[in-house]
Amino acid sequence: MDMKATKKKLGIKERYAHMTRGLGWEPTYQSADAVFPYDKYEGIKIHDWDKWVDPFRLTMDAYWKYQGEKDRKLYAVIEAFAQNNGHLNITDARYLSAIKLFWQGVSPLENYVVQGFARAGRHFRGEASRVACQMQAVDELRHYQTQAHSISNYNKYYNGFHSQRHMWDRVWYLSVPKSFGEDALTSGPFEFLIAISFSFEYVLTNLLFVPFMSGAAYNGDMSTVTFGFSAQSDESRHMTLGIEAIKFLLEQDPANVPIVQGWIDKWFWRGSKVLALVGMMMDYMLPKRVMSWKEAWEIYAEENGGALFRDLARYGIRPPKGWADACEAKDHLSHQVWLLFYEYGGAAAFHTWSLTDEELDWLSAKYPDSFDKYYRPRLEFLRDKHARGERVYQGTLPTLCTTCQIPLCFTEPGDPTKISHRETVHKDEKYVFCSDHCQEIFGNEPEKFVQSWLPVNQIYQGNCFNPDVDPTAPDFDPLKAVLEYFKYNLGRDNGDFEGSEDQRNFAMWRGQASKN
Amino acid sequence: MTYELTIEPMGATLEIEEGQTILDAALRAGIYIPNACGHGLCGTCKVQVLDGEIEHGQASSFALMDFERDEGMTLACCATLNSDVTIEAEIEEDTDAEQIPVRDFPGTVSRVVDLTPTIKGVFIELDEPIHFQAGQYIQFVVPGKGIERAFSLANAPSSLSSTAKEIEINVRIVAGGEGTTYIHNQLKVGDGVTVKGPYGRFFVHQSARKPLVFMAGGSGLSSPRSMILDLLNNGWDLPITLIYGQRNRAELYYHDEFVALAATHQNFRYIPALSNEPAESDWGGYRGYVHDAATATYPDGFVGNQAYLCGPPLMIDACINALMQGRLFEDDIYFEKFISAADAQQVRSPLFRKI
């Protein structure tokens, strides 16, 4: 009689390996270097691609099943939100400015990350890393789509949500996340991984997602909260990918260590600048606040990031060069950026406003070392002027940093009363920067950054008007012409919240919902 | 109320308190289950429940899907037990690990030897031989005190049966320590005692067939000594290096034994290091810490080796740094680690899984 040998059951990890490994092959018609032309020129040396630990451990079959269920749950909430006029349950129409900022400036970045991972997923030689990057590309596409569908409900009722794709390529403040994303997209595949997977998804993502999603929860926006949960269940996998990526690079060859260090220095600094927008949102734009930007920075950057860099020290990696300056800025960043947007409130496609005494007191309490001394008097001065009917709007254009593209509104480390301003002359051309670190990033890659499309410079060069305008006409208003080129609905998308259409409509609809 | 939690594929069984999460119990027992957020949002710690009843706790409906709940999946970071439970987790099966059930072993103290001014060697003749892997530890039930203390077995299992009838533990007196004070001052030959074991997942991963570096300090010599004796008894043919640190010559126990082993085994190299030996003494060996001795011994780095560490936490930490600077990474570094409640409170980055 035949005896059937009882096969030992495979562990989860082995089962996964059998289904996913060995998918690659050695090319014969073309050399491997010709098939994968971009994974060597950055100087990164990989000796054994099999050492890549796959953090996803999902087969495509299981992946669709998961994401399908997540989507079913999310779309049920979005549907219910729309049917029940969920937009009238938010704390206050000022909250909409936070969501406008997210939609205009963060969601398109997700779309860039789709492209970046799709490209990285094509260009790595190891198949496990290709699979991981391709799956993250699909994840990011889903995030962009779910954000679009969650937020589109607001677009039915409120201003500023309408022309996201058009604005992204033109509007001055959106060039900050756009240039960040394009810098990453045009990097080599390994730098992209360190820029996005490690520096952004791992080190800084909690500073983006937690404030926005908790802010949504605190302010009654269930639709955004639900897409946040749905995305966060992917986000942890993305963070793990960042961790695996950096370990893999550092362990493969000692020559990789200084290259990776350079990328960490660059991308930590770039990320911390992009997050200035989040800081302003947390401290100023949420009617009901969650925590201050400073508190969030202390928990997510200083505490968690500190623990990470203590561990990375074992590989010979030190904290990013801009670390101390970024930590010092936690007392100033959000206030400086809000003041910038308040004064340029005529040119932003969301509203700004004067703070109430209660809100100023909250900031005084959260920022005992800086707010009363440097910022409260300015905000009160602006509020008084506004009350007298002299709302302050800047009519001139600011100087932009060539690297991060933020107007020069940040102050010198150690002196919050002096604007930080740096200059480099490269091939007889002068370039301006907001900080030592942005200047150094330019210095390391001048050929890349001389190509920066700086909105202010482009406006002055006459490249930001619609084709039919005539700048020689006697009644030509250049600022108005630029805002039309941005596709703003003038007087509805921009300006102060006080007296805005969003404010009036929200009050009226809420009144109809709660009274006869 | 406690339950029994069995973790497949390794078959490890541990006790779990009511309300304690599966992840917490596993990590405390030294079993690494992949995890990230720690509060039910990310799904990294997903495990399969094979038998028994659990509560899903705060697991998010986006991290643990309905269909997964139906299939018996749960999140280890949130799940608590309602009965004895068996789970299967994503743990790499270790071909070198033996699953040895834990038992009580009554025995009699057969010898007590002063190894150094602060360390005693205690030998116990067991009523029945114990089967263990070199590197494992036992719990010594301190007579009449109602307390247990963990000690690594310092002797090798015999080469044929992997068992031992007489076991040896090395006990350093801890100032004010109830257990070690009793062992040093009251325990005597002929006393009846009980040990429980074997415990721990610290053993040599022989199947990798790599040269071995042992780094030991303080009273952390027991496991490396047991492992090295076991390897040499069984004809291990790849290089073995023991780097062994103490403060001074008087504390350097089993020195002569290792010198003799190095003389008779071509593949065994012995490097003692003293960190606080008087400058004027006739000590001709290395002066300094274990990790510095290791770096000096391996000027070209540690690539290709496997390292086993045993000693006080500061020494372990310094040795890991030295190994990583010499380009030996997590996959090839082993040590016995106990995660205390205080460790679990610390802010840790998820960069490393086990070190």
Q: What is the pLDDT of residues B126-148, one digit of tens each?
A: 999 999 999 998 889 888 877 88
Query: Per-residue pLDDT averaged across B88-111, rounded?
Result: 84
If asked whether residues B239 and B164 sit together in one domain, one would say no
Mutation target to probe the B interface, by most B beta carbons within 10 A, among A8, A10, A12, A19 is A12
Interface test with B, best of A209, A314, A315 (most B CBs within 10 A): A314
Residue A109 has pLDDT above 50, yes or no: yes
* pLDDT attached to residue A56: 61
- Does residue B342 carry a pLDDT above 50? no
pLDDT at A6 over 60: no
For residues B93 and B110, the answer to whether their CB atoms sit within 8 Å is no
Q: How confident is the model at residue B339 (pLDDT cuts 50, 70, 90)?
A: very low
Closest residue to A308, CB basis, from B42, B62, B351:
B351
Considering the domain architecture, whether residues B220 and B325 belong to the same structural domain is answered as: yes
Mean pLDDT for B341-353 is 57
B88 touches chain A (CB under 8 A): yes
Alpha carbon distance, N-terminus to C-terminus of chain B: 32
- Taking only the tens place, the pLDDT of each residue in B271-302 is 999 999 999 999 999 999 999 999 999 999 99
* Residue B337: pLDDT over 80: no
Chain B nearest-CA distance from A67, in A, is 9
Question: For residue B91, which residues of chain A lie inside 8 Å, CB to CB?
Answer: 11, 13
What is the mean pLDDT of the segment spanning A198-220?
84
Nearest CA in chain A to B327: A251
Instruction: Enumerate residues 6+ apart whose C-beta is below 8 A from A223.
Output: A77, A78, A81, A86, A150, A151, A153
Q: Is the pLDDT of residue A164 over 50?
A: yes
Report, as an integer, the average pLDDT of A83-92: 91
Please report, in angstroms and rounded to a whole number, the separation of the first and last CA atoms in chain A.
Answer: 87
All residues of chain B having their beta carbon less than 8 Å from the beta carbon of residue A306 are 347
| B353: in domain | no
Residue B303 domain-assigned? yes
B220, B162: one domain: no
Based on the fold, state whether residues B250 and B326 are members of the same structural domain: yes
B188, B227: one domain: no
Candidate from B44, B61, B93 with C-beta closest to A240: B44
Q: What is the mean pLDDT of residues B150-162?
A: 81
The pLDDT assigned to B343 comes to 46
Residues of chain A found within 8 Å of residue B66, distances taken between Cβ atoms = 69
State residue B200's pLDDT score. Answer: 78
What string of H, E and C letters represents the secondary structure of A447-478?
HHHCCCCCHHHHHHCCCCCCCCCCCCCCCCCH
Parallel, antiparallel or unpaired: strands B212-217 and B306-310: parallel
Question: In which band, very low, low, confident or very high, does the pLDDT at B100 lie, cut at 50, 70 and 90?
Answer: confident
Q: What mean pLDDT comes out for the span B310-317? A: 88
Is residue B43 predicted with pLDDT exceeding 90? Answer: no
pLDDT at A19: 66
Average pLDDT over residues A282-292: 94
A302 vs B32, higher pLDDT: A302
Beta bridge partners of B76: none
pLDDT band at B72 (very low <50, low <70, confident <90, very high): very high
Of the CA atoms within 13 Å of residue B200, those in its CB half-sphere come to 24
Look up residue A312 and give its two tokens: 């990375």
Q: What percent of chain A has pLDDT over 70?
A: 96
Region at B56 (left for phi over 0; alpha for psi -120 to 50; beta for the rest): alpha
Dig out the tokens for A512 from the structure: 């109809």
pLDDT at B349: 67
Q: Does A299 touch chain B (CB under 8 A)?
A: no
Given a contact cutoff of 8 angstroms between Cβ atoms, the answer to whether A125 and A133 are in contact is: no
Confidence of residue A1 (pLDDT cuts 50, 70, 90): very low
Interchain CB distance below 8 Å, A237 and B44: yes
Closest CA to B16 of B148, B48, B6: B6
Cβ-based contacts of A14 with chain B (< 8 Å): 93
pLDDT (tens digit, 9 = 90+) per residue, A46-81? 999 888 877 666 777 778 888 888 888 889 989 998
Residues of chain A numbered 14-33 and touching chain B (CB < 8 Å): 14
ipTM of the complex: 0.73
Q: Is the pLDDT of residue B353 over 70?
A: no
Q: What is the mean pLDDT of residues B33-60?
A: 86
- For residue B350, what pLDDT band results from cuts at 50, 70 and 90? low
Q: What is the mean pLDDT of residues B304-330?
A: 92
Cα dihedral across residues B277, B279, B284, B290: positive or negative: positive
- pLDDT over 50 at B344, yes or no: no
**Percentage of chain B modeled with pLDDT above 90:** 59
Does A89 reside within a domain? Answer: yes
Taking only the tens place, the pLDDT of each residue in A354-376 is 999 999 999 999 999 999 999 99
pLDDT, chain A, mean: 91
* Domain total in chain B: 3
Percent of chain B predicted with pLDDT > 70: 93
Full domain range(s) for residue B302? 206-345
Chain B partners within 8 Å of A11 (Cβ): 8-9, 88, 90-93
Across the interface, which of A240, A254, A307 has its CB nearest the CB of B349?
Answer: A307
Nearest residue on chain B to A234, judged by CA atoms?
B42
pLDDT digit string, tens, across residues A226-262: 888 888 777 777 877 888 899 999 999 999 999 999 9
Same domain assignment for residues B11 and B121:
no
Tell me if B355 is assigned to some domain: no
Residues of A in contact with B89 (CB under 8 A): 12
Reported as a pLDDT band with limits 50, 70 and 90, residue A12 is low
Written as one letter, the residue type at B98 is E
Residues B190 and B226 occupy one common structural domain? no
The full DSSP string for A252-272 is: H-TTHHHHHHHHHHHHHHHHH
Do residue B42 and residue A236 have CB atoms under 8 angstroms apart? yes
**Mode of pairing for the β-strands spanning B240-246 and B268-274:** parallel
Cβ <8 Å between B90 and A57? yes
For residue B354, being part of any structural domain is answered with no
Non-local CB neighbours of B243 within 8 Å, separated by 6+ positions: B213, B214, B215, B216, B271, B273, B290, B293, B294, B297
Q: For the ranges A84-98, A207-221, A381-395, B150-164, which has the lowest average pLDDT?
A: B150-164
Number of cross-chain residue pairs from A and B with Cβ atoms under 8 Å apart: 84
Return the minimum-mean-pLDDT range out of A138-147, A274-283, B16-25, B151-160: B151-160
Chain A contact for B353 (CB, 8 A cutoff) = no
Quick one: CA dihedral B246, B252, B253, B256, positive or negative?
Answer: positive
How confident is residue A9, by pLDDT bands cut at 50, 70 and 90?
low
Instruction: Please tell me the total count of domains within chain A.
Output: 1
Taking the C-alpha atoms of residue A136 and residue A115, their distance in angstroms, rounded to an integer, is 10
**How far apart are alpha carbons B45 and B38 in whole angstroms?**
8
Residues of B in contact with A240 (CB under 8 A): 36, 44, 350
Q: Are A124 and A189 in contact (CB under 8 A)?
A: yes
Q: What percent of chain A has pLDDT over 90?
A: 73
Angle between helices A127-155 and A95-105 (to 10 degrees): 140
Last residue of a domain, one of B150, B175, B199: B199
The residue among B98, B123, B128, B100 whose CA lies nearest residue B113 is B123
Look at residue A186 and tell me if it is in a domain: yes
Global confidence as pTM: 0.85
Residue A364, domain member (yes or no): no
Q: Quickly state the pLDDT bin for B341 (edges 50, 70, 90).
A: very low
Alpha-carbon distance of A275 to B130, in angstroms, equals: 60
Q: Is the pLDDT of residue A4 over 70?
A: no
How many Å apart are CA A117 and CA A181, to the nearest integer? Answer: 12
Longest dimension (CA), chain A: 104
What's the gap in Å between the CA of A138 and the closest CA on chain B? 17
Whether residues B42 and A251 touch (CB distance < 8 A) is answered with no
Distance of alpha carbon A411 from alpha carbon A418, whole angstroms: 5
Residue B352 lies in a domain: no
Q: Which of A222-231, A342-351, A504-513, B313-322 has the lowest mean pLDDT?
A: A222-231
Please tell me the predicted confidence (pLDDT) of residue B45.
Answer: 87
pLDDT value, residue B48: 93
Task: Mark which of B165, B199, B233 sits at the end of a domain.
Answer: B199
Query: pLDDT at position B312, please?
Result: 85
Asked if B231 and B151 sit in the same domain, the reply is no
Residue A12 domain flag: no
Average pLDDT over residues B216-222: 88
Q: Which residue of B has its CA nearest to A229?
A: B62
Is A75 a domain residue? yes
User: What's the length of chain B?
Assistant: 355
Task: For B108, list phi and psi in degrees, rounded to 5.
Answer: -130, 140
Do B39 and B75 reside in the same domain of the chain? Answer: yes
Instruction: Answer whether B62 sits within 8 Å of A73, measured CB to CB.
Output: yes
Residues contacting residue A270 through CB under 8 Å, at least 6 positions apart? A180, A183, A195, A199, A403, A404, A441
- Residue A236 and residue B352: Cβ atoms within 8 Å? no
Nearest-by-CA chain B residue for A198: B351
Residue A323: per-residue pLDDT: 96
Q: How far is CA A404 from CA A107, A195, A311, A434, in A?
A: 18, 14, 29, 8
Are A333 and A279 in contact by the 8 Å Cβ rule? The answer is yes
Identify the pLDDT of residue A34.
Answer: 96
Final residue of a structural domain among B168, B199, B230: B199
For range B241-259, the mean pLDDT: 95
Both B80 and B110 in a single domain?
no
Lowest mean per-residue pLDDT among A96-100, A248-252, B72-76, B199-203: B199-203
3 state DSSP class of B162: coil
Euclidean distance between CA atoms A334 and A372, whole angstroms? 14
The pLDDT-based confidence of B25 (bands split at 50, 70, 90) is: confident
Number of Cβ within a 10 Å radius of residue B281: 11
Would you mind telling me the total number of residues written for chain A in this entry? 516
Structural domain contains residue B97:
no
Instruction: Say which residues have a Cβ less than 8 Å from residue B177's Cβ, sequence separation at least 6.
Output: none
The domain of A269 spans 49-352+394-467+476-514
**pLDDT top residue among A179 and B2:** A179
Is residue B166, in this structure, part of any structural domain at all?
A: yes
Residues B173 and B228 in one domain: no
Residue of B nearest to A63 (CA): B65
Strand-pairing partners, residue B140, are: B149, B195
CATH number at residue A295: 1.10.620.20
My answer on whether B182 and B221 are in the same domain is: no
Tell me if B317 is assigned to some domain. Answer: yes
pLDDT at B144: 83
Q: What pLDDT, on the 0 to 100 scale, is given for residue B340?
A: 41
User: What does the pLDDT average to over A308-317?
Assistant: 93
Sign of CA dihedral A98, A99, A101, A102: positive
Measured between alpha carbons, how far is A177 from A406 in angstroms, rounded to an integer? 10
Chain B: nearest CA to A50, how far in angstroms?
13
pLDDT of residue A140: 92
Q: Is residue A380 part of a domain?
A: no
pLDDT score for A7: 52
pLDDT at A322 over 90: yes
